[in-house]
Structure 1
Amino acid sequence: MLNRCAIFDNDNRLRKTDICLRIGKMRFRLCFWLILILPLTGQSQVVINEIMYHTEHSSQEWVELYNAAEDTINLQNWSIADANFSPKRIISTAFFVPPGSYLTLVRDQAAFETQFPQSDSLWVLEPEDALPALNNSGDVIVLYDAELTPVDSVEFSASWGGDRGISLERIAPQNPSIDPQNWGSCLDPNGGTPTRKNSISIQSIDLAVFDENIRFEPAIPRESTSYVTIYALVYNVGLMDASGFRVIVRDSTQQTLLHEFVQETPLAPGDFIEVMTVYADFRRGDQVIEVIIDFDTDQNPQNNRAQQLLHVSPDAGAVVINEIMYAPHPDEPEWVELFNRTLQPVNLRYWYIADAQREVVLTDVSRVIPAQGYVVLVDDLPTFSAVYPQLDTAFVWQPPEGLPTLNNSGDRLVLSDRRVVRMDSVQFTANWGGQDGISLERINPDAAATDSTNWGDCLYPEGATPLAPNSILAKPVDLAVLTLTIDPDEPQAGDDLTLTATLQNLGRTEVLNFGVRFEELTTGEVIADITVTTPVPPNGAIQDISTTYPNAPAGDYQFQARIDLGSDENPANDAATATVRVGNPPIDLKLNEIYYEDDPEWIELYNAGEAAINLSHWMLADADSTLYAIPEDVPLVEAMGFLIVTENRDQFLTRFPAASCPIIQMERFPTLNKTEDEVRLLDPYLMEVDRAVYRVDDPAHSGNSLERRSPTADPSNPANWVTSVALDGATPCAENSVFTEVIPEKAVLSVSPNPFSPDGDGQDDVTFLTLSLPVNLVDLTIDIYDVQGRLVRQLVNEKRVQANKYPQQWDGRDDQGDPLSIGIYIIFFEAINWQEGIHLKGKATVVLAKNL
């Protein structure tokens, strides 16, 4: 942004014009001294114009005078003084200085001419009384005429300008000497302009370009950046319009012309133009971009050329952390190996490496890591060389501030380039690998450093591979079958099986045009040969390949997927297998009744499905997992039918002669525990079809079978098994006496008929009470109250009874056997299972009526 601000003196006359520039965060000021009409002190117009006061030796000091008058001035008997105000005669004879001319007063003319041999010696004078010695921190200089009248004076300080070997120059002779804004450091490469015009004087024709006004976008380009836009500002710092000049932009490192531009339109004083060009063919590293103004009439060519360093950094990941020795043997050094992934060398000057605590520069001199090469950073080079004497120490560097100390439990490492832009980083722990003198190696330098699976222990006997390929380095071509999956995972006969091979490219190059074979290993059947033409990217990319095995019959299968890739360098991971058992269609065969008493033990099976079931090669097992085969010639279990398996068929029929379903005697029969046990029903593939878990809580009911309450409830829940309440103690080949479709979640008391009429007419003379509970054995009470709350009948008061479907009837009489009057009666029940901590209560109402 360009602003102009006029500055006036005390007489309200224009003194100077400032042009202030702001470019990003950079600000500087160019001062253009224009039309100034200020009286000078004394009668003459000779001024102090340039001062060399800060030199290595006082003999090199000098002061330049300038005749700004229109007449020639005679300096005979003029003198000069410093802060001591003791005038030193310049010359006692006539010495004439023409208008617009310069005279340089020196302390030692020989020393001066050695430093500025190009100066006009006719206008170099060593004062007769010697030039006063000047202080490096600043001083006072007073010029006197022959009458010792002050002609000009200046009291300057080091802050005004001038430095070791660089003079302090006056910008405008017409402006006051005492104004620090009228002075500045010499810009001439020689450090001074004695006997000629000052380098910072305002010229009539003066175009300028400055280093700080050359910028790049992006400011930090990378090797993969498509192009860099170069911007440069060209200023007219002179007093007149300028046109017809040429601006050249070039890469002076590669000697490449980037842009050439001719400004035909006049550029007014104080204005500027912006030159822009695009650079696409840059290289990695440092390039000097130069902007040149070609203008023959420019009176100050010293500011016609500027340059800026364009540093092109490698792409992130060009150089990576490749191996870390963070837990070495005692008296051995820690070290970190870097690897250059690119095909060009990389200069690591002013690159940085940091751990969790501190950051250090790798090298402060120009040193390169070779293309596809290694560098090892160490904290103690002599000790490292003693441990690894065979290594080329040209690529073993000890950073100037040493290597950060690494923690044996794990640490964090960050590699940054000279712009402190992150190149690579890893935060590792001890469980990644690398302990007890074994290095932590990177498997694939092209894959992420942050992935713990990309690191591991060095496998070589030496325990490390500095300046050499890692022992676990990923191969260029390595395609692996990670897994083979089968869907569905529990198939039934007739299902189509989808086989999916998950492939991973563990190598460092892309692969394509390879084959995948699917086969069934037990039969050798080739299911599919698939050619894959889709590229699989390197560094861990995943790709799934699938095929179908249709209409699979029941049985056991072992499938394999194998890669066919001739260039694969690691065939050990080219195949994967998977097994599956294809079962029969869903079978709804239930363990329905268990008789665990002797003479004989037996188990009832119930087919709740719609098709007959062949039990050939089926098995039974009890809690000890011993298998017991059901005979092969067993008849079918018909739909909705029963089948009994027993240890002794004859004894069973003696006990239950009316049993009407198939009775099968097994060669070996499981021995059932009389207190608690488990029975499992297995199909020919040993897949569990049903399981019964029972617990006998009431020894008083010994001799009765255990019946399944609900075929749909969980058979492994002991609450689903209840002692039979049948008169015969069991219900083989028939519906269970405790059968219910659904086990209630809470206690349910039902009364039927309701109302009932106990009048002896043979119709509804009694009502039946049925109680369903979610538990088996309970202490049970059932009491009947009238509407006034009086107990009229205690129907049940028993311990450890089988309450489910507990059949009770009430004839409408009280405890004394007397008939009760018609009305509403309330039935209360309470059931307690002390073992399971269950306490249930409930009630129901019943209407006692009589015929009118």
Structure 2
Amino acid sequence: MRIFPGLMCFLWFPVCIAQIKISEVMFNPAGTESSDEYIELYNASATDSFKLSTIFIGDQKIQESVDLNGKSPFLAPQCYAVIFDSDYDVSEGAYASLIPESAKVLKVADKTLGSAGLSNSTPESIIVKSEQGDTLDAYTYSLDNNPGFSDERIDLLIDNSPGNWANSQVLNGSPGFENSVSTQTTELEIKVTCSAIEGVQPRIHSECVFVIDILNTAEILYENLILKIIVDDSIVLASHQIPMLEPGEFYQIKAPWKPITAGKLDIDISITSDLVEKFKLFEFWVEWPKQSLVINEVMFAPLSGEPEWIEVYNRSDMEIPIAEWKIKDASGRQGLVEVVDSLVLKPDEFALFTADSSVRTIYSFTTDMQVVHIRAFPTLNNTNETIALTGKSGAIIDSISIHLAAEKGISIERIDALGSSVDQTNWTYSLSEAGATPCKINSVSAVEIDLAIDTTSVLWPDPPPERNKYFHIVVPILNVGKQQAILNNWRLTDRADDYVYAAGTSSMMIDVGDTLLIQIEHVANKSGTHNFAFEIDVTNDNRRRNNRWIFDISVSFLSRDIVLNEIMANPLSGEPEWVEIINLSSQPIDLNNWSISDGTRRGKLMFNGGKLILMPKDYFLITQELSRSDDQLGMVVPEQWPSLNNSGDSVFIFDQNDCIIDSISYTDANVGENGVSWENMNFMIADIGPAGWDFCVSPKGSTPGRQNSLFVEKLESKSKLKANPDPFSPDGDGIDDHVLIQYDLPMQTSNVNLVIFDLRGRKVRHLLRNASSGPNRALFWDGRNDEGQLMDVGIYIIFVQALDAAHGELLKLKKTIVLAKKL
């Protein structure tokens, strides 16, 4: 936060009597200009700590708050705080080895000190203000310093007049320790640190250690120094004798300690001898144990108009104050608990952290339920979110990382309040009818007898199942109760017709914590999306809400269930490109989430109503834009249109599972004149490619939504070799321009030659050359020879030779066909 006061022009500041003092200003550092600037503050009190979170610091234009970055806000008596801009590197910066551990190293909440860093060309005023806007201290620095030499306060206990300031006597100044120009004499310098054996922050009931560093800064020898440490009037180290401490000598003592209370602690250090009496007060913060309070429930995705919230639970046996605790998310955003210091959470009590107290009315809270306001509540991600709960010192008390995708209006609950926070299996969706259980025992908490369908660990078929083929699903049944449980039976039902596809009737005993894997084998007799219900029956189950699971299985369609039938790649000016498809399957097909592609761009078919049903043998248009006025023809514009290139392209049709159902490739020779489509001459014939397509001969140039102008019927006959039409007239008028040749063989596999001869026995066209074939096949002849020349009117012979080498069988078929011209 920054404060923007009005314009001020003065050199002397009336200040309130305050314990916090500006003790040093480095406005012209030797290193990088902005990042090495600093302002040093000093707590002049001998007994009281100072709360740094209550001040704003800056220049005469802007003052801003201090970013504590999780550190305790308290500055101990007679200690220093050094404040940098946000770019300073605490561990590697210019002063990293210079600043003692006893000093606090902090940064301003915004980027720079003051409005734009501290000027070394124009004198600026350094100002410290309280939350109420009172000036606690102020100083206008001079410009007679060499680079790297700060302005230092001479006497920290008197006023801030210009005569009480001087240039530092040492390069880089004295950040975090006694000023080089100070008139005070310190015979013994004492530094104290306190840390946990495991981790940095001391915690209640955890092994800690005091480290006391003593430096003799006097010019005399001290003998028989007696050191005492008193914590909150309780003696930790009653007496320790230092036999001798020479001038300049350093002495260190480590004293083990286990805190029995949490919160702010005063540590009194006394060093006495015949020549000296030194007393100093230090202050430390002892944090609450890890996971004494835990995050117990999270509402990531509330219903529209409702707030997000986080529930915490006190699972310890202590009463814990929660004032100034914080909630942080993965991005570092944090919210501060805004309550009075007296608010405590008793053992087994809940508290709801939120930015909006309207949750009281949403969930009908009683007056004794704790709803705690969070300032700057972090916006929660709906999936893969990490949340940390930190104590007043900034140390982490609990943290969770949730990978479950949020469901609207449904909270995510901890299953076992005493279990692990980071174990993903200890979290699941609320089972409450209200969608959540704020400030109540979680709906998923363990009961005596409870078998649950573990929907998060289901093994799905991969790849997606196909029609008329078996697929497998493995469904885990987990005993989340406190006792053994008996699974009586299970069943899988298609909800569309209540048909039971699979069931198990053998009773099974499942121990606490164990999982039984149910393997389901099923044949889907229809493609598309199937809505199933999987249910289990359990003896005396105390919680039946997790005994039923509703889910969808998407069954892939088969190749050529949908067939490409007509393509308009070169429309008239102002008209859209389009592709016509036809449903060749025996079932209605929902085209929602199908897609069309050219191999590069892909557009999904989406419908506002959720479904578009294409009945068997019906046509449908996928178009670049809706410009046609034919209300009887179904059509849709995909999310992205794959432009059809006139120089050649490919067209693919994908089902809802991204399986290719049909495709065709064409060249520039297959693109007609403007407004003329390219038609499939018989959509019932598979794998014939461009040879089975030709240009539309309808006067309108295309036939969308009806039978193609070039459609050739496939004869149903028992003959071995067939041709239709006979005669045919390949004169380019669009009528009988191609003959459809079909053969049926008594062999399952063979190598086939199919040749057209004239009546003199001369080879005209080789349509198949030793081609692998099944028992039947169909293909077109356009009346041209192998050189592409149109043959004369006359009678021609179709000759088929099939060899089944594996069985030593050779079959020959002949049939005549008449090539004619219309009169």
- What is the TM-score with the length of structure 2 in the denominator? 0.45
Q: Over alpha carbons, which structure has the higher Rg? A: 1
TM-score normalised per structure 1: 0.44
> Of the two structures, which has the highest relative contact order with CA contacts closer than 8 Å and spacing of 6 or more?
2
